[in-house]
């Protein structure tokens, strides 16, 4: 039949459905992640962010606002996630009320398996297609990152390399952010006088701060990030390569399992044919 082994305990073999609960639980976690990705895409596609533009085939026009795209498919993915989680709850609730041995209640679990499988496969294919067809607004993303003072942490860290305690550098960076916010401009556009204000009450030379600000950008920040799992270019490339290799291994393993099941199915059919004949 293609199973890995024999379940020795007869009660366990006939009445346990832990494998079903485990399967649907894993799919629930998968769908939860897809739901969160969907929410990210919905937010990023709004006019307030404009980080991405979804393809027309995955959106619908607003019935009132002609300029608006409704991310229907992504919203449905979020909704279907709730259905999958509901299936898991139904399975666990059914199992928990049964005594040892088989009960007809277990038949109700089957529909949850098919429903969960169908939803998850569709969701994966849809999210993949959305990613492949969406337009990424790199200019807008860069504009937002450059105006959000993300380099404040980098400035604090570089000041630490100058021998200044982090408590002091943290305060300086905080003042720089406040000055930038009050003057409605990024840290990189602060004047010499404003930079001097950031070091008031400290022994830090404002020229050092000015030099660090002039050489620190979002791009340089990404290049400087080299710790394991960081957002740096090299680490991102390494992680992508590592995950790609793992996916290939999983695909190979899945292919072996499929071949094993097909082989077992063929053998079973031969035995059935022999008995019938």
Domain end call among 107, 136, 165: 136
CB-based contact 105:154 (threshold 8 Å): no
Whole-number pLDDT of residue 232: 92
* 243 belongs to a structural domain: no
Whole-number pLDDT of residue 135: 97
* 269 belongs to a structural domain: no
Whole-number pLDDT of residue 100: 86
Do 3 and 124 belong together in one domain?
yes
* 50 belongs to a structural domain: yes
Do 2 and 52 belong together in one domain?
yes
Do 46 and 110 belong together in one domain?
yes
Q: Provide the angle, in degrees to the nearest 10, between the axes of the packed helices 166-183 and 206-215.
A: 70
Residue 96 Cα distances to 15, 21, 39, 261, angstroms = 12, 11, 33, 31
Tell me the mean pLDDT in the region 117-127: 97
What does the angle CA 141 – CA 145 – CA 146 come to, to the nearest 5 degrees? 115
Q: How far apart are CA 175 and CA 190, in angstroms?
A: 12
Task: Provide the domain limits for residue 52.
Answer: 1-136
* 250 belongs to a structural domain: no
pLDDT in tens, 180-230: 999 999 999 999 999 999 999 999 999 999 999 999 999 999 999 989 999
Q: How far apart are CA 192 and CA 179, in angstroms?
A: 12
Domain end call among 209, 224, 239: 224
Do 111 and 153 belong together in one domain?
no
Whole-number pLDDT of residue 277: 81
* 18 belongs to a structural domain: yes
Whole-number pLDDT of residue 272: 94
User: pLDDT class for 65, splitting at 50, 70, 90?
Assistant: confident
* 246 belongs to a structural domain: no
CATH for 101? 1.20.200.10
235 token code pair: 């680490």
Q: Is the pLDDT of residue 159 over 80?
A: yes
Do 172 and 201 belong together in one domain?
yes
Domain end call among 136, 158, 181: 136
DSSP output for 32-52: HHHHHHHHHHHHHTSTTT-SE
Tell me the mean pLDDT in the region 53-71: 85
Tell me the mean pLDDT in the region 122-134: 97
Do 115 and 8 belong together in one domain?
yes
- Indicate the pTM of the whole model: 0.85
Do 6 and 70 belong together in one domain?
yes
* 276 belongs to a structural domain: no
pLDDT in tens, 210-219: 999 999 999 9
CATH for 211? 1.10.40.30
* 236 belongs to a structural domain: no
* Tally of domains within the chain: 2
Tell me the mean pLDDT in the region 13-19: 88
């Amino acid at each position: 039949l293609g199973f890995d082994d024999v379940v020795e305990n007869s009660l366990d073999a006939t009445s346990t459905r832990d494998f079903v609960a485990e399967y649907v639980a894993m799919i629930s976690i998968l769908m939860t992640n897809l739901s969160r990705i969907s929410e990210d895409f919905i937010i990023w596609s709004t006019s307030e962010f404009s980080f991405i533009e979804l393809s027309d085939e995955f959106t619908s026009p607003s019935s009132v606002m002609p300029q608006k795209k409704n991310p229907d498919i992504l919203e449905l993915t979020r909704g279907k996630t709730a259905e999958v989680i509901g299936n898991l709850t139904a399975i666990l609730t059914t199992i928990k009320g049964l005594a040892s041995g088989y009960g007809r209640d277990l038949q109700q679990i089957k529909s949850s398996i098919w429903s969960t499988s169908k939803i998850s496969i569709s969701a994966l294919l849809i999210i993949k297609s959305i990613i492949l067809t969406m337009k990424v607004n790199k200019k807008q993303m860069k504009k937002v990152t450059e105006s959000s003072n993300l380099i404040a942490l980098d400035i604090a860290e570089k000041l630490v390399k100058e021998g200044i305690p982090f408590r002091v550098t943290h305060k300086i960076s905080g003042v720089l952010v406040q000055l930038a916010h009050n003057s409605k401009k990024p840290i990189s556009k602060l004047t010499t006088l404003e930079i001097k204000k950031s070091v008031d009450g400290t022994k830090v030379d404002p020229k050092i701060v000015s030099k660090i600000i002039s050489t620190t950008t979002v791009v340089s920040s990404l290049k400087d990030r080299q710790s394991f799992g960081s957002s740096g270019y090299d680490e991102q490339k390494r992680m992508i390569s590592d995950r790609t290799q793992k996916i290939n291994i999983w695909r190979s393993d899945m292919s072996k399992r499929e071949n094993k099941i097909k082989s077992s199915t063929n053998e079973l059919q031969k035995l059935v044919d022999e008995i019938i004949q």
